[in-house]
Amino acid sequence: MEQKSIIIIGAGIAGLSAGCYGQMNGYSTQIFELHDKPGGLCTSWKRKGYTIDGCLHWLVGSGLGISLYRIWEELGAMQGRRMINHEEFMRVEGEGGKVFIVYTDIDRLEQHMKELAPQDKGVIEEFTEALRICTRFDMPVEKAPELYGPVDGLKMLFKMFPLLRIMRKWKRISIQDFAKRFTDPFLREVFPLTFNLPDFPMIAMLMTLAWMHRKSAGYPIGGSLEFSRAIERRYLNLGGEIHYRSRAKKILVEDDRAIGIQLEDGSEHRADIIISAADGHSTIFDMLGRKYVNAKIQDYYDNLPIFPPLIHVALGVARLFDELPHSVVGINFPLDEPVTIAGKELRRLGMHTYDFDPTLAPAGKTVIKVMLPSDYAYWKSLREDPDRYKAEKEQITNKVIALLDKRFPGLAAQVEMRDVATPITYERYTGNWKSSYEGWLITTKTFGMRMSKTLPGLKNFYMIGQWVEPGGGVPAAAMSGRNVVQIICKRDKKAFVTVIP
Ligand SMILES: Cc1cc2nc3c(=O)[nH]c(=O)nc-3n(C[C@H](O)[C@H](O)[C@H](O)COP(=O)(O)OP(=O)(O)OC[C@H]3O[C@@H](n4cnc5c(N)ncnc54)[C@H](O)[C@@H]3O)c2cc1C
């Protein structure tokens, strides 16, 4: 039988994953990527002997005993990789030396919360009991949800039954609303800062902490680009082809069938099936000229909230943070007085230290970073004036260093490397719409929402990645690539096969 060809736009985790599974299933695939490296948002970069990690704080599926682990093995991402399982998810500091420590061990967390707020015992136990139930949850990964029949639905219902009650209850409560139930003012204030996103559903917090408790949401030593490079290697070993510095400008369509792509340099490339693993907005509204949009899709892009764009300040410092736990995802502390950065007032600062990954810095030194949600329009207009843009970046770094120096006296003098990525940087290197760092935001309204991987009226075409998987994240991107190949195999009446290298 003739081998079918697939073109994939984008070598982020979704595109690489689709490429790997396409190759495993006998398709001849090529990936076209605008950047000169794989990974998309799942990346790192080097400056002055330091490696700045731009993504993975936690990787769901990083530990044995959870089905997703197998997917990472199929993609060659786990073999030989060391994972750090954080002891603490976050430290949120308050006034007068008070600290809320989000231990990843549930018993320890419960005990700590009860010590902080004994009068809130009931609410704390309700929370930790839900966490314990969530540790029994394993994401179903074997079959693409699009291919579920009634029997699969029943099997799933049976498997998930104990969790349905938990899901139903906690997906509609935001972390902000739940925190109001604590009578202790400190816990009320700091609890929502652990996932500081608007209308963030409690169920997403519970699931993340439950995975961390199970040591299944660790950080890969070596950082995010190394992780992406492993999947790139797997793809190339399977016989796939990647073309870097190749921006797709147009998806070629004949008689409502996608037949190929045109790159920015004018060259045209054809295939039997086209998959866009690139940004959703540019795929639908630019590359396809908004021809395949229905009211539902238009509504997503008009009304759904997205993860905000970021200012990502990284510093290489000639010191370690022995006063902090060795392995913590992040810390958050109050400022002496409010500060305005890029037009937004800040009363607290969140930071990440990377002492736990010695591969990112010379011995005895480390990388720290601060990520600040920002405003896309602010940066877009600033970019028009390169001098102002540069000056703003400089000023932000100085402000961040000064704030960190107050918390860690002497730090300013230890800074050896400074780097700022703005929403414009994210747009330039990944093409993501409004520089969103994770696509559609999960809220109490969008949790569990499903989006179609096809567009109305367009044949031989699929979309994958964070713009069709609300909530985004690296596992969702990888699953999206796997699922689309299952769907294509089913359409081609082929058994879907996977191999662990
Ligand atoms: C700071 C930060 C922290 C994060 N932390 C985590 C975390 O701890 N855990 C987690 O699971 N997730 C995390 N994420 C989110 C995660 O990185 C993303 O959700 C995921 O990587 C998205 O993968 P994707 O393949 O769908 O999209 P992308 O990574 O955006 O990949 C799309 C690819 O398409 C390419 N492309 C776009 N347009 C074109 C075009 N026209 N032609 C050719 N190529 C094109 C882009 O260059 C890119 O390589 C984080 C993200 C950021 C930025």
Q: Is residue 398 part of a domain?
A: yes
Give the Å distance between the CA of 83 and the centre of ligand 1: 21
Is the minimum distance from the CB of 240 to ligand 1 under 6 angstroms? no
- Please say whether the beta carbons of 274 and 258 come within 8 A: yes
Q: What is the pLDDT of residue 163?
A: 84
Q: What is the pLDDT of residue 1?
A: 61
**Residue listed under structure tokens 């995975």:** 211
Question: CA–CA separation, 194 vs 177, rounded Å?
Answer: 14
Q: Is residue 138 part of a domain?
A: yes
Longest dimension (CA), the chain: 72
Q: Is residue 498 part of a domain?
A: no
* Residues 318, 248 share a domain: no
Give the Å distance between the CA of 472 and the centre of ligand 1: 9
* Residues 229, 197 share a domain: no
Query: How many Cβ atoms sit within 10 Å of the Cβ of residue 470?
Result: 22
Q: What is the pLDDT of residue 53?
A: 98
Which of 7, 20, 41, 195 is the best mutation target for the ligand 1 pocket, counting ligand atoms within 8 Å of the beta carbon and taking the most? 41
Q: Residue 396 sits in which domain range? A: 310-430
Q: Is residue 57 part of a domain?
A: no
* Residues 135, 209 share a domain: yes
Tell me which of 214, 249, 265 is where a domain ends.
214
Token pair listed for 440: 């559609």
Token pair listed for 272: 């039997």
Q: Structural domain tally of the chain?
A: 3
- Please say whether the beta carbons of 219 and 84 come within 8 A: yes
* Residues 316, 299 share a domain: no
* Residues 187, 96 share a domain: yes
* Residues 426, 317 share a domain: yes
* Among 27, 8, 16, 14, CA closest to 488: 27
* Residues 314, 300 share a domain: no
Give the Å distance between the CA of 12 and the centre of ligand 1: 6
Q: Is residue 55 part of a domain?
A: no
Q: Is residue 52 part of a domain?
A: no
Q: Is residue 342 part of a domain?
A: yes
432 CA: nearest ligand 1 atom: 30
Is the minimum distance from the CB of 38 to ligand 1 under 6 angstroms? no
Q: Is residue 182 part of a domain?
A: yes
Radius of gyration of the chain (CA): 23
Which of 8, 21, 42 is the best mutation target for the ligand 1 pocket, counting ligand atoms within 8 Å of the beta carbon and taking the most? 42
* Among 169, 197, 160, 192, CA closest to 179: 192
State the helix-helix crossing angle for 376-383 and 386-407, rounded to 10 degrees: 130
**Residue listed under structure tokens 């964070």:** 466
What's 2's DSSP letter? P
Token pair listed for 114: 């009860």
- Please say whether the beta carbons of 376 and 302 come within 8 A: no
Tell me which of 188, 214, 240 is where a domain ends.
214
Extract the residue ranges of the chain whose pLDDT is less than 70: 1
Query: How many Cβ atoms sit within 10 Å of the Cβ of residue 335?
Result: 13
* Residues 470, 373 share a domain: no
Give the Å distance between the CA of 464 and the centre of ligand 1: 11
Tell me which of 214, 235, 254 is where a domain ends.
214
Dihedral sign of CA atoms 348, 352, 353, 356 in order: positive
472 CA: nearest ligand 1 atom: 19
The answer for residues whose C-beta is within 8 angstroms of residue 140's C-beta and 6 or more apart is 67, 156, 159, 160
* Residues 204, 96 share a domain: yes
Strand 83-84, strand 217-220: pairing: antiparallel
Helix and strand totals (H; E) in the chain? 16, 20
* Residues 202, 99 share a domain: yes
